[in-house]
């Protein structure tokens, strides 16, 4: 059984937790700012299995992060324990050439309140708070302006920032899925040389005024659109950065 109090403590959430819009928004932001998007288990050779209990243990007890299946899988478990209605959604990530990746390539969440909301704490650099699932409604956030465009039964998440055109991030339908449906694609991302998760180590978190990222040995800080990079020299230095900036100890 999920220990809700421990999960809320992990993400630094101390307010009363009700199954309403305000709580959903606050939980989403708290999760994004405390639980990093990271793929370090892939590089450590630790299998990632589609199991909510394992996801929660890793995030809450081991004080780690994860990638989309883990982060949104665990967050769905927390939301359900708090009384929210949550559906797992299969999403296909947009490529530079305009095509989309395979089904189940990304896991996102539909949270049904008086109106539907798209929650996603597992995409990395994207929206900080959940999006109203209302086609064409532009929604301003610190990380950019977002909208959901509907084409038939397909919903497309798009973002723009100052000086940029609208760019698609991923697409999904509202078909409901089980966590086990994502298992094959989760395995693919851990083992295939074609997966970007097997090509570089990544650990990233939004900050109040930007983002901090460890990409292999490169430490990247973005502050109000100003980007600074520093190359770390050793694995020990990398591990110290993980601990200092992300609270992750391996």
Read off the pLDDT of residues 70-127 as tens digits, 9 standing for 90 and up: 999 999 999 999 999 999 999 999 998 889 999 999 999 999 999 999 999 999 899 9
- Among candidate residues 244, 204, 208, 241, the one with its CA nearest the CA of residue 223: 208
Tokens representing 18 are: 């009700």
- Among candidate residues 8, 240, 75, the one with its CA nearest the CA of residue 230: 240
Same domain for 109 and 14? yes
Q: What range defines the domain where residue 63 resides?
A: 4-199
196 catalytic per annotation:
no
120 catalytic per annotation:
yes
Average pLDDT estimate for 29-53: 97
**Confidence band for 66, pLDDT divided at 50, 70 and 90:** very high
Query: What is d(CA 40, CA 216) in angstroms, rounded to the nearest whole number?
Result: 10
Q: Does position 239 have pLDDT exceeding 80, yes or no?
A: yes
What local confidence, expressed as pLDDT, does residue 105 receive? 98
What local confidence, expressed as pLDDT, does residue 243 receive? 96
Q: Does position 225 have pLDDT exceeding 80, yes or no?
A: no
Same domain for 31 and 128? yes
Read off the pLDDT of residues 151-170 as tens digits, 9 standing for 90 and up: 999 999 999 988 889 999 99
What local confidence, expressed as pLDDT, does residue 131 receive? 98
What local confidence, expressed as pLDDT, does residue 96 receive? 85
The more confidently predicted of residues 161 and 187 is 187
Same domain for 166 and 86? yes
Same domain for 193 and 242? no
pLDDT, the chain, mean: 95
C-alpha dihedral sign at 128, 230, 58, 195: positive
Same domain for 149 and 223? no
Q: Which of 68, 105, 186, 203 is catalytic?
A: 68
What local confidence, expressed as pLDDT, does residue 124 receive? 87
Query: What is d(CA 118, CA 110) in angstroms, rounded to the nearest whole number?
Result: 5
In total, how many domains does the chain have?
Answer: 2
Same domain for 85 and 194? yes
Tokens representing 190 are: 């851990």
Question: What are the residues whose beta carbons fall under 8 Å from the beta carbon of 234, sequence distance 6 or more?
Answer: none
Q: Which of 28, 31, 106, 189 is catalytic?
A: 106
Domain boundary among 199, 216, 231: 199
Same domain for 137 and 106? yes
Same domain for 156 and 189? yes
Read off the pLDDT of residues 193-212 as tens digits, 9 standing for 90 and up: 999 999 999 999 999 889 99
What local confidence, expressed as pLDDT, does residue 185 receive? 97
Same domain for 129 and 208? no
Same domain for 180 and 206? no
Average pLDDT estimate for 171-175: 98
> Which segments of the chain are extended strands (E)?
37-38, 85-93, 106-112, 116-119, 131-132, 139-141, 144-151, 154-160, 167-172, 202-207, 210-215, 218-223, 226-231
SS3 label, residue 236: helix
Share of the chain above pLDDT 70, in %: 100
Same domain for 102 and 220? no
Q: Which of 31, 41, 105, 120 is catalytic?
A: 120
What local confidence, expressed as pLDDT, does residue 145 receive? 96
Write the CATH number for 70. Answer: 3.30.2140.20
How do beta strands 116-119 and 106-112 pair?
A: antiparallel
Same domain for 99 and 210? no
């Amino acid at each position: 059984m999920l220990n809700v109090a421990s999960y809320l403590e992990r993400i630094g959430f101390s307010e009363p937790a009700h199954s309403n819009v305000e709580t959903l928004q606050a939980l989403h932001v708290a999760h994004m700012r405390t639980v990093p998007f990271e793929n370090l288990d892939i590089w450590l050779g630790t299998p990632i299995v589609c199991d909510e209990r394992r996801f929660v243990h890793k995030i809450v007890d081991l004080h780690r992060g994860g990638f989309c299946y883990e982060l949104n899988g665990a967050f769905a478990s927390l939301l359900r324990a708090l009384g929210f209605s949550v559906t797992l959604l299969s999403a296909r990530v947009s490529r530079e050439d305009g095509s989309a990746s395979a089904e189940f390539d990304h896991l996102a969440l539909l949270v049904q309140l008086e109106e539907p909301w798209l929650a996603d704490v597992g995409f990395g650099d994207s929206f900080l708070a959940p999006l109203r699932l209302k086609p064409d409604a532009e929604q301003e956030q610190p990380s950019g302006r977002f909208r959901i465009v509907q084409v038939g039964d397909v919903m497309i998440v798009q973002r723009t920032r100052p000086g940029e055109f609208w760019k698609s991030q991923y697409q999904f339908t509202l078909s409901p899925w089980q966590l086990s449906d994502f298992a094959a694609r989760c395995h693919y991302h851990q083992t295939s040389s074609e997966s970007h998760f097997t090509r570089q180590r990544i650990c990233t978190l939004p900050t109040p005024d930007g983002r901090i990222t460890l990409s292999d040995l490169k430490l990247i800080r973005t502050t109000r659109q100003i980007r600074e990079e520093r190359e770390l020299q050793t694995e020990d230095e990398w591990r110290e950065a993980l601990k200092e900036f992300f609270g992750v100890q391996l």
